[in-house]
Amino acid sequence: MKALVSKDQNHEMTLLFILIVLGIAFSIFSESFFKIGNMLAISAQMAELSLLTLGMSVCIISGGFDLSIGAMAGLSSVCLAVLISSGMDMGLTIILVLGLLLLCGLINGILIGYLRINSMLVTLGTSSVFMGIAIVISQGRAISGLTEEFAVFGQQYLGVIPVQTMILIVILAFSFLILSYSTWGRRIYLIGSNYEVARFAGINCGFNIMLVYVYSAAMAFLASLILTSRLATGRADLGETYVMQSVAAAVFGGIGINGGSGNLAGAILGVAVFVIISNGFNMLDFSQYAQQIVIGSILIVFLAYRAQRNQE
């Protein structure tokens, strides 16, 4: 009986184990890997993918997908850069762009939650719309001219800790709390386990699902805030590569692809494994492409192992 209950924890233990093995391996081959400075750098590198993965994970738990997070991040990045470089106040810009993204999320949410259109199709469509708008606004160019002040989100430190790490910690704590301890979070799990049963249990599925996509839009906004600040440019395509990575990290982290299971701690551990591999390989001067091969292989092996174990 105990084994049944703690299956989830086992999964996170496995991930932690992989992390430690990777950590030891990289420390042996590279002296600079296991230094506080590098650890903090890793945490900063994690921030963007982690935030997007949080959004994606919540969507998957609710039984859907959000393929538009990349396009939303791009739109947000372009808008931030255009408005700030044109001299608008940073605080006001942030509020406006956040509002815009929440609106994007609301559109996704209404189409998916209330009109019951398949989430993958909806977000594929809206993704194209958001990306199109972002390209029109930016005329397809990278927009520079961001202020010094704006560098705070992606380039500066609070003491020794990178600002984006702080943002990630706060958002992670908040997300963990609402997903595990709010009625909304619980309902998301229930809807994701079986939509029909949730409906018959009197759960307001439309509203709760709508909020999922608003949440994921908010995460896309935060990720783009950090990315835009770190790169000091606004680009329409800056979120695209993260979409599939966030799905991979979520699944790797134990978020059940059929909905209703997994938790955010696992998803963040999944991101950590990916980022540590990438960081360690950079230190060893491996190419980007080799990294992709290794990450892909680990993902497949791990999923195969898990499928095997679940059968037993």
Partner 1 sequence: MRDSREFILQIAQLNKTYSGNQVLNNVNFDLKLGEVHALVGENGAGKSTLIKIIAGVEKPDPGAEIIFDGCPAVNLSPSKSVQMGISVIYQDISLFPNLSVAENICIGGQKGPFIKWQQMFETARSALNKLGAIDIDPHMALGEISIGQRQMVALARALTHEARVIIMDEPTSSLSANEVKALYNTIQILKNENKSLIYISHKFEEVFRVADRISVLRDGELIASKDAREFDEQSLISMMVGREIRFPPLHNEEVAGKKIFEVTGLSKEPLFRDISFSLYENEILGMTGLVGAGRSEMAQTLFGLIKADKGRIFMGGKEISIKSAVDAIKNGICYLPEDRRGQGIFRIQSMAKNITAAKLESILNRYRLLSRPKEMAVSEYYMDRLNIKPRLPDISADKMSGGNQQKVLFSRWLNARPRILIADEPSSGIDVATKAEIHKLLRELAASGVGVILISSDLPETLAVCDRILVMRNGNIVEQISSMESSQEELIRKGLMG
CA-based angle 52:45:36, to the nearest 5? 140
| 306 forms part of the interface with partner 1 (CB under 8 A) | no
Interface region with partner 1, contact rule CB under 8 A, candidates 110-118, 194-202, 221-229, 290-298: 194-202
Minimum CB distance to partner 1, residue 256 (Å) = 8
**Using CB atoms within 10 A of its CB, is residue 148 exposed (0-12), middle (13-18) or buried (19+)?**
exposed
Site string for partner 1, 238-277 (x = CB under 8 A): ------------------x---xx----------------
Minimum CB distance to partner 1, residue 1 (Å) = 5
Minimum CB distance to partner 1, residue 258 (Å) = 9
Say if residues 292 and 274 touch (Cβ distance below 8 Å): no
Interface region with partner 1, contact rule CB under 8 A, candidates 93-101, 113-121, 195-203, 291-299: 195-203
Name the residue among 242, 308, 293, 294 with its Cα closest to residue 271.
Answer: 242
The number of residues that bind partner 1 (CB under 8 A) is 29
Q: Which two tokens stand for residue 198?
A: 């949730």
Helices (H), 194-287: 195-200, 205-231, 240-252, 264-283
Q: Compute the distance between CA of residue 266 and CA of residue 269 in angstroms, rounded to an integer.
A: 5
| 195 forms part of the interface with partner 1 (CB under 8 A) | no
Q: Which residue has the tokens 């990720």?
A: 223
DSSP conformation class of 125:
H
| 180 forms part of the interface with partner 1 (CB under 8 A) | yes
Give me the residues that bind partner 1 (CB under 8 A), please. Answer: 1-5, 177, 180-183, 185-187, 189-190, 193-194, 196-204, 256, 260-261
